[in-house]
Each structure stands twice: as C-alpha cells, then as structure tokens.
Amino acid sequence: MYPRPVYNVFMAIKYDESNIKSLSSLEHIRLRPGMYIGRLGDGSHVDDGIYILLKEVIDNSIDEFIMGCGSRVIITVLDREVTVRDYGRGIPLGKIVECVSVINTGAKYDSEAFQFSVGLNGVGTKAVNALSSSFTVTSYRDGEMASASFEKGIQKGRTKHAKTDEPNGTLISFVPDPDIFPDYSFNEEFILERLWNYAYLNTGLTIEYNRKVIKSQNGLLDLLSKDVGSEQLYPIIHYKGSQLEFAMTHTSSYGESYFSYVNGQHTSDGGTHLAAFKEGVLKGINEYYKKTWNAPEIRDGIAGAISVKVQNPVFESQTKNKLGNTEIRTWIVNEVKEAVIDALMKNQETANALLTKITTNERIHKEESAVRNGAREMAKKVSINIPKLRDCRYHLNSYPKSKEAEAMNSMIFLTEGDSASGTITKTRNVETQAVFSLRGKPFNVFGKTRKAIYENEELYNIMVALGLENGDFDNLRYAKVVIATDADTDGYHIRNLLMTYFLTFFDELVTSGRLYILETPLFRVRNKQVITYCYSEKERDATLLQMKNPEVTRFKGLGEIDPKEFGQFIGDDIKLVPVTIDSATEVRKKMQFYMGNNTPERREYIMENLV
C-alpha cells in the first residue's frame, strides 16, 4: 500500500476537459517526430533523421521507376538544401497540396497505381514537409505545372498553376528544420551508400547526385561483387525472377554475411524473406549433393544478398528493419532451392568449389567440437553465470511482444577494467543496459581459427554473453553491442582488438548495424554559470573562447568520471558511433595491415606519418 502522502499528491493533480488536447496531423509529427522517422540525430549516423527525410522523397521517385515511369532521378544536396527531381508521371495537379500535407492521402493505397511501394504509404512526404523549415513541391504533367511552398508544414500563399515545356515528373526541395535537427550536417558517404543501394536494386535506373552518375547493370551481382571482390571462392550465383532476386558466394571467412531488401527497403534485421532464403540455400545444396549437411556446414563463410517485392509488406517497426509476412516463406524457399540447384547443375567448377568449402567447414567444425566442449566444461566449473557480466533484465531472445521498445534499446557495454565498468554499472538503466568488464587487452585473433575463441576464456565469455555460442546470429541477446573504452592509446588498442574479433568471427554484427563505439567527452569546461562537455580539443578551444574564468578538466578514463556525472553520457543523449564497412575485401586488407604480422611495415608507416 502506498503511504498516504504519496496518494494525496496523485489525487491533487488536476485532470478535466482542459487537459484534453487535439493536434493536427502535422502538429503531431513535429511534436513526436521519432514516431515517424525514428531517431533524430545530427547526421553523424547513417540512420539519422535527415537521411530518412531524403529517403522518403527519393522513395516516391523509385516507386515511379518501378511502375515503368521515369528512369532518371537527379538529386542535389547543397549545404542544407536537398532537391530531388524525377521524370515519372508527376503528382496529379489538383491534389498536389494534399499529397504533401494531408496524412493518409496518396495513390499508394491503390494497387493499380503503385504495386510495390517502398514509402510510408501516405505519411512519408508529409513528414518531410512537417519537419522542414522550407519545403517546395512542383509537379509537371502534360504541358501544365502546379507548385506549392510550405514552412514547417504550413502552406505559404496560393498554389501556382501555369503552362510549361518541362517533361513530366515531380520536383521537391526542402531544408530540414534546425529546430528539430539542431547542428546537423549531411555526410556524403552515407548518401552515396544509400544511392548505390537504390541503383543495385533497380537496374536500368540512372541517379545523378551532385553531378556524379550512379547506375548498376547487374543489380545484386554488382553489390556482392563490390563487397567480396576477389575473396569469392567461386563465381557469384545470381538469380533474378519477377519478385525475387538473389546473389550468393562463399569466402574463406567465418560466419555469415547478408544484405536483405524488401521493395527497395534495406531490412537490417532481416525477417521472413531472409530466413526463407537461408532455408532455400540449405535445401538446394543438400538436394544437389544428396547430403544431409546442417546449416553451419553450408552457411559458414557465405556472403549473400536478397531482394523481394511484396505487395502488402508487414514490418515489425515503423523504420521497417524486419519483415514479418509469413505467407511469402514457402514460395521463396522453393524458388531459391530450384535456382541454386539449377546454377550448380550448369556450372561444375562452381559445384566443385562449393563442395570443397563445405567439406572444409565440416572438418573445421569437428576439430572445434572437442575444444568447444572443453571450454563449456571449464566455464561450468568456474561459474554458473558468465564472469564479469552484469546483465540487464531484458534481452532480445526472451522478450515478450509487449517489450518491443525495450528490445530495440537493449545494449551491452564492453568496457576495460573494474573502475570503468563500476562507473557504468552504477549509472546504467538496469532494464536495458548490460555491462561486460574486460580483463586487460583481448587476444589478437587476426589470422587465427575459431579454436582461438574456445581456448581463450575472455573471448569465449564475450561470445556466450552475446548469445552467439552456437553461431546463430538470430540468438543475439542485445540490439546494440557497444565498445566503451578510454580515449587513450590503450583504449584505442583494445577497441581495435575487439573490432578485429567481431569482424573475423561475427561480421554480421557489423553488417547489420549492431556494433557501436561509445563516445564520451574528453574535457569538462565550466565556470560558475555553465558546464560544457567537449568531445575534442577543437570543441574545447571553441568553448574556452566563449567563457569567462573557465576551469578545464581532462578526463583520462571512464573510471575517473563521477558516476552521477557519467549517467548523462549513457542516458537519453547517449552518443554512439556506428562501426561500418564499405566492403569485406577492403576491411580484410586493413586488418592485415594494422593487425597482421607485419610490424616493420607498420613502423615505417607510423614514422612517415608522425606529426
């Protein structure tokens, strides 16, 4: 029972008709933007809001291309202004205002006008409009045009109509509102990556971005070729049907690596289509070779990409990271299986190379089995629980559906030493944040086999803590794996060793966007009036110019920050830097240089670049 004083406080809160508020749709978007576009951010993360705004506008142009109308899209990003011009059918002139400002208005509800839409079905462009300080839409149709301009979703002036010589299509320009996205800037690498994905998924489409031409002739074959390069053990198997396209090969690496898409949307968490693709590959290979290999023997080292078109896709979240349609499973499994069998029957060299890879996997797994069992027995003797793990109450493989929000926010911090882990443990959110304390520097696994994990207690415990002991990425227990080390030489070294560990044996953790680095401030600058935290020397110097009588504190390590003060750095305003890769081939080259057995070469590089 609550104490009476607390009960009286609740009873005293006023609640009557005056508390009931009605917001317009656009007002609601501005008040709760995260419900419509996910995270806001400042442009430093590929999924930050400004890129989602760009995506939503481009998606409409892609929908036109999918429907056979307009094979060219011109995109310009100059400072903070974005312009997108397509050559599709153009928005019907009489509905130009409604289509960009009235929620649940659009042609994507009409399956004849749009069969495989990638947008937010009546929300996307409206969200862009509402979250932009300025927004202009112009439509060209059969010699006529209409144009309307908005500020923060509110129309300014009357809609303009006129005759025109412009070819059909739609032109949209917008500036993300700094009131919603303070201190943002566009990262061209993120934009180019997204545009290349559009090109890979839409062969025949030409995208011009700031005068750069982006085009793919071979779709997912080009995407996978760029990713694996010369690492492929046999020529990429490429299949393209009316609603399904996939590409696959194997490399000498460990683990599995996939790119998956639905209607042009990157599904970083996979879903039914990816699971069906994996099952189809397994069945096709076993049927061709007349074997009963299990999944790890076949899929270890696989690199694949799959794209499907679904008329009524059901996603598990607004940001569309995971597909939930169950009715598509059977036909995808069967189509993939038959395509794999057909490809192997037509190319004996490919079939021989794949057989060699699978039998190698089989041999390695048998060798690892004894070591793995020994590691498990040793772990049982040491402790029933994983040493140095302070777990959270929720993790992905045991969430009820009602806890989806917690599942999406769950994370584990990998930190160095008892001092730093103690600081994080005292201030973390125990519901969603776990802490794993490293004991010194992890073992460098570059060039090692997976036996190294089982023979090294700490690496083994990390694997078990993440739920990856059996190599099944679907059992990952956390939405985010966060490397939280000090911002000094030792901290950077540990950071590199952990990234090498994940990229060598669990690269899907990186390719799915689950691995992050915690960014914590290097300096605290304060006077009697204000406290400012700076993440670089440049920020510190700029802050010093604006303060009178400042006091500067240099944080040497996470453990030196007071827990009460540190809490804000892993709370709602946590700064996480995603670990991303351009291609598997380039990553392996860099790992070879920085983590391989070539000390003289690295020393020479350091001496030549020392400043």
Q: CA dihedral defined by 464, 470, 472, 473, rounded to 10 degrees?
A: 20
Residue after which a domain boundary falls, among 335, 365, 395: 365
Q: Check residue 120 and give its pLDDT.
A: 45
Q: Residues 111, 59: one domain? A: yes
**Does residue 3 sit within a domain?**
no
Average of per-residue pLDDT across 452-474: 85
The CATH number of whichever domain residue 67 belongs to comes to: 3.30.565.10
**Does residue 566 sit within a domain?**
yes
Residue after which a domain boundary falls, among 330, 365, 400: 365
Residue after which a domain boundary falls, among 158, 187, 216: 187
DSSP letter assigned to residue 86: E
Q: Check residue 270 and give its pLDDT.
A: 87
Q: Residues 41, 92: one domain? A: yes
**Does residue 213 sit within a domain?**
no
Q: What is the mean pLDDT of the chain?
A: 84
Q: Residues 575, 611: one domain? A: no
Q: What phi and psi, each to the nearest 5 degrees, are found at residue 146? A: -140, 145
- Does the pLDDT at position 16 exceed 70? no
**Does residue 14 sit within a domain?**
no
Q: Residues 350, 391: one domain? A: no
Q: Residues 276, 174: one domain? A: no
- Does the pLDDT at position 288 exceed 70? yes
**Does residue 457 sit within a domain?**
yes
Q: Residues 289, 339: one domain? A: yes
Model pLDDT for residues 212-235, shown as the tens digit of each residue: 999 999 999 999 999 888 889 999
Q: Residues 328, 449: one domain? A: no
Contact status, residue 460 vs residue 375, Cβ threshold 8 Å: yes
**Does residue 133 sit within a domain?**
yes
Contact status, residue 380 vs residue 362, Cβ threshold 8 Å: no
Model pLDDT for residues 160-194, shown as the tens digit of each residue: 899 999 999 999 999 999 999 888 999 998 999 88
Q: Residues 438, 401: one domain? A: yes
- For the chain, how many structural domains are there in total? 4
Q: Check residue 399 and give its pLDDT.
A: 45
Contact status, residue 540 vs residue 598, Cβ threshold 8 Å: no
Q: Residues 396, 331: one domain? A: no
The CATH number of whichever domain residue 501 belongs to comes to: 3.40.50.670
Q: Which sign does the torsion angle of CA 338, 343, 349, 350 carry? A: negative
- Does the pLDDT at position 403 exceed 80? no
Model pLDDT for residues 467-508, shown as the tens digit of each residue: 888 777 878 889 899 999 887 788 888 999 999 999 988 888
Report the half-sphere exposure of 10 (CA within 13 A, side-chain side): 5
Q: Residues 513, 387: one domain? A: yes
Q: Residues 442, 337: one domain? A: no
**109: confidence class by pLDDT, cuts 50, 70, 90:** very low
Q: Check residue 110 and give its pLDDT.
A: 44
Report the half-sphere exposure of 167 (CA within 13 A, side-chain side): 9
The CATH number of whichever domain residue 359 belongs to comes to: 3.30.230.10
Three-state secondary structure string covering 494-521: HHHHHHHHHHHHCCHHHHCCCEEEECCC
**Does residue 307 sit within a domain?**
yes
- Does the pLDDT at position 113 exceed 50? no
Q: Which sign does the torsion angle of CA 394, 400, 404, 408 carry? A: positive
**Does residue 314 sit within a domain?**
yes
- What domain range includes position 119? 28-187
Residue 517: strand pairing partners: 483, 577
Q: Residues 261, 157: one domain? A: no
